[in-house]
Structure 1
Amino acid sequence: MPHNFNANRRDKIPKQRHRVTNWAEYNEGLRRRGDLTVWISEDALALWSAPRRTTRGGQPHYSDLAIELCLTLGLVFKQPLRQTQGLMRSIARLLGVGIAVPDFSTLSRRGNGLTLRPKPKSRCDKPVQMVVDSTGLKIFGEGDWLEQKHKAKRKRRTWRKLHLGLDLVSGEIVCSDLTKDAVGDPTALPGLLDQVDGPMDRFLVDGAYDGKPTSDLLAARFGSTIEVTIPPPRNAIPSLSAAYNPTARDRAIAQIKADGRMAWQKSSGYNQRSRGETQMGRWKTVIGPKLMARTFENQKTEARIGVQVLNQMNALGRPSFERTA
Structure 2
Amino acid sequence: MPHKFNADRRDKIAKQRYQVTNWSAYNESLRQRGDLTIWVKDEALSLWTARRRTWRGGQPKYSDLAITLCLTLRVVYGLALRQTQGLMRSVAALMGFDIAVPDFSTLSRRSKGLALPSTKSRATTSGPVHLVVDSTGLKVFGEGEWLENKHKTKAKRKRWRKLHLGLNLVSGEIVCSALTVDDVGDPTALPGLLDQIGGPVEKFIADGAYDGTPTRDLLATRFGEIVEVIIPPPKTAIASPQSVLVPSVRDRHIAGIQTKGRMAWQKSTGDNKRSRAETQMGRWKAVIGPKLKARHFDNPKTEAKVGVRVLNRMTELGRPKFERVA
1:46-57 matches, within 5 Å, as 46-57=46-57
1:126 match: 127
Please report how far the alpha carbon of residue 248 of structure 1 lies from its aligned counterpart in structure 2 after TM superposition.
1.0
Residue 101 and residue 148 in structure 1: after superposition, are their counterparts in 2 closer, same or farther (change >3 A)?
closer
Distance across 2 between alignment mates of 1:236 and 1:36: 52
For residues 27 and 139 of structure 2, the distance between their equivalents in structure 1, rounded to whole angstroms, comes to 31
Aligned residue in 1 for 2:22: 22
For 2:91 and 2:307, the matched residues in 1 are separated by 21
CA deviation after TM superposition for structure 1 residue 14, in Å? 3.8
Of 301-310 and 258-267, the range deviating more from structure 2:
258-267
Q: Tell me the amino acid that sits aligned with residue 130 of structure 1.
A: L
User: Aligned AA for 2:207?
Assistant: D
Q: Which deviates more from structure 2 when the two are superposed, residues 252-261 or residues 41-50?
A: 252-261
Trace 1:253-268 onto structure 2 (pairs within 5 A): 253-268=254-269
Q: Which residue of 1 aligns with 2:41?
A: 41
Counterpart amino acid of residue 139 in structure 2:
K
Q: Residues 255 and 9 (structure 1 numbering): CA distance in 2 closer, same or farther, change over 3 Å?
A: farther
Q: Which residue of 2 aligns with 1:240?
A: 241
**Structure 2 equivalent of residue 193 of structure 1:** 194
Aligned residue in 1 for 2:3: none
Q: Contact between 1:207 and 1:230, CA under 8 Å: does it hold in 2? A: yes
Conserved 8 A contact 1:141-1:156? no
Give the count of matched residue pairs.
319
Cα gap change, 1:149 to 1:293, in 2 (>3 Å): closer
8 A Cα contact 1:142 1:155, kept in partner? no
Residue 161 of structure 2 is matched in structure 1 by 160
Question: TM-score, length-normalised on structure 2?
Answer: 0.93
Q: Which amino acid is 1:96 matched to?
A: G
Greater displacement, 165-174 / 123-132:
123-132
Q: Is the 8 A contact 1:25 1:317 kept in 2?
A: yes
Judge conservation of contact 1:137–1:160 (CA < 8 Å) in 2.
Answer: yes
Once the two structures are aligned, what percentage of the paired residues are identical? 66
Q: Quick one: structure 1 residues 8 and 48, their matched pair in 2 at CA, closer, same or farther if it must change by over 3 Å?
A: closer
Between the aligned partners of 1:148 and 1:208, the Cα distance in structure 2 is 33
**TM-score calculated relative to the size of structure 1:** 0.93
Task: Check whether the contact 2:141–2:295 (CA below 8 A) recurs between aligned residues.
Answer: no
Task: Answer yes or no: is 1:73 the counterpart of 2:79.
Answer: no
- 1:13-65 Cα distance to aligned partner (Å, 9 max, x none): 54221110111000000000011011111110110000100000011100000
Query: 3-state DSSP class of the match of 1:25?
Result: helix
Distance change >3 Å, CA 302–CA 24, structure 1 → 2? same
Supply the distance in 1 between the matched residues of 2:198 and 2:297 (Cα, whole angstroms).
Answer: 26
- Structure 2 residue identity aligned to 1:268: T
One-letter amino acid matched to 2:248: T
Compare 231-240 and 148-157 and name the one that shifted more: 148-157
The 3 A distance-change label for structure 1 pair 7 and 282 is: closer
**Superimposed CA distance per residue, residues 45-101 of structure 1 (whole angstroms, 9 cap, x where no aligned partner):** 110000100000011100000000001111111111111111111111111110000
Q: How big is each residue's C-alpha offset from its partner over 1:99-154, in whole Å with a ceiling of 9 and x where there is no partner?
A: 0000111111110000001131316522100110100000035556x489869654
Q: 1:151 to 1:129 in 2, by over 3 A?
A: farther
**Aligned residue number for residue 291 of structure 1:** 292
1:163-215 Cα offsets, whole Å, 9 max, x none, are 00000000000000000000000000000000011111101000000001111
